[in-house]
Structure 1
Amino acid sequence: MEAPNHTSTRPMTFLLTGIPGLEAAHVWISIPFVLMYLLALVGNTLVMVVVAGDRNLHKPMYLFLAMLALNDIILCTVTVPKMLVIFWRGPAISTFADCLTQMFFVHALFLSESAVLLAMAYDRYVAICTPLHYTSLLTTSIIGKLGLALVSRSVIVVIPGVLLILHLPFCRTNVIPHTYCENMGIAKLACASITLNSVYGLTAAFLTTGMDFILIAISYGLILRAVLGLSSREARAKAFGTCGTHICVILVFYTLAFFSFFTHRFGPHVPHHAHILLANLYLLVPPTMNPIIYGVKTSEIRVRVLGLFHLMKSS
């Protein structure tokens, strides 16, 4: 018996249907999604403008914030506009190439977000635990190399997942009950075993975001020990305030992401609409919250943003 021709069984297009079971409520669901998207765009753009425009903020902590803001803007823009088209106009057609491109960027940007959060945790660890070596350990050159390494890691990890999808034969439906294209959502439409896809996805997730989370937890454990050893109550309060902000962002990001990830693979009894909603929220909630949390808690960012608004109002 001849092996199936994978190329000939590859679908020309996929049909994204949105949130299954909640089609009648799509328009209403779109309202908070539009608001969050606009908030994410405006908030993250302000962070980038403020950091780029003030040389006093060209320091590791703020440069990492700018990286996070840029990553969040791209991540939202890759998914939300198409999602809103589905909510407003019904199921949307996506070509095979477009779907794989979106899948690549969704997963690569998610890994980049995780890596930037790890870099920010390292920055706080060096600033609090080894402050005398801060300027030598986190130079502009090192931050640039870190940024390049983050992008490279994301690309290297995601490309094999895309190649595994390309080698799957598709002979069933081309309907994806989702608002965007993601790895397992496409793989489950194949008419062949997707064990390799699933194993690679789990392994890659553990070795990247899983290890990032573990290293972040270790960093903040060491930071907590160092903070508790400070003699000044004011210094302890300042350190807790800064680290508390980061921990809040980290918990939101990883809780939503891990719950969605494991539900996709090990949660068959979770309602499908709940899983799809969660898969959208873990890509949209952190980009919306990050500029709000950092803008409110980071005095340098807050003062400069208020000054920017005052300048705009005066002009």
Structure 2
Amino acid sequence: MTTIDDTPWRRALRAYPSSWRERHGEAMLGTLLDEAEARGRDEPSRGERIALMRSGLAVRILGWMPHPAREALATASAATGFALAVMFAVFSGFGERVDWRLPAEGQNLDLQASPGLVPAGLWVIAFVLILCGAARAARVAFAATAVVGAGVFFYAQLDPLAGPRAITTVTMTVFALLALLAPVRARLAAAATAAVTTGILVFFHLFFEVPPGSPSDAIWLRVLTEEFTGFLAGAVWVLALMAAIVRARAVARCIGAAATVWTIVWLIRLTMWDVVTGMLGLAAVLAVVAIGAGIFRAGARWGRGTHPREGAA
């Protein structure tokens, strides 16, 4: 038995939720005490306290979502964000900045790069790192993408002619944050989702005749409209339901994560169009999720009561 007082470490572990401490607290405490005894310390260092607080906060924030769901959502967000970043770079990365306040002879009609190319480029780097198996390095790139995307958003408010439309930077930043939910290691699922999403977006760009060099609002007003994003989210949810019916759980989880991502795009699109409509859409989605979760839990309780596990009293 160690002679070190474990009270300071127990206090430091309070950063974690009680449910986590009940399952893993004693094992974590034993590891901390053994390391402290080997180093001759009788209480956690400042660095250890900060590390425990940071990881405990992450557990509290992410504890409501099972880890497989976090992985699936991070994978779908990384793939979808990559597709949107590529579409933005190809079709709206370079364009003319027309200032309607100036006369025609005073306009500079040369193609100019958009600041949105910076977060789009970081997206490509992050996704390439995922395909190479460098999940941790990809998370660093996603964090940089979120920071740069927020910076480009504020820059676009100061210079609307230079910056991309707000919904572009907001969507890319939100997806970068969602991609940070878990390391993306499902390279095949990420590549397949990115390929399918990119193919769909390219088809609709060609169908609606949105050429390269178009302003960023052309994509959102002619391709990624409220109706299209809502239709796409609904169609993917139907596919996820069909996969769940045939009990293809892994496929259903991946498709469901993609459906969640497009539902988020739809909500962002609605909110950018009209705040009240966006809030009503969010309330409707939360109501459907709550009802679905209630039905699932009721079914699970009924199943346990009808078919009790072996060995249960």
* The structure with more radius of gyration: 2
RCO greater where, 1 or 2, for CA within 8 Å and sep 6 or more? 1
Structures share fold, TM-score greater than 0.5 = no
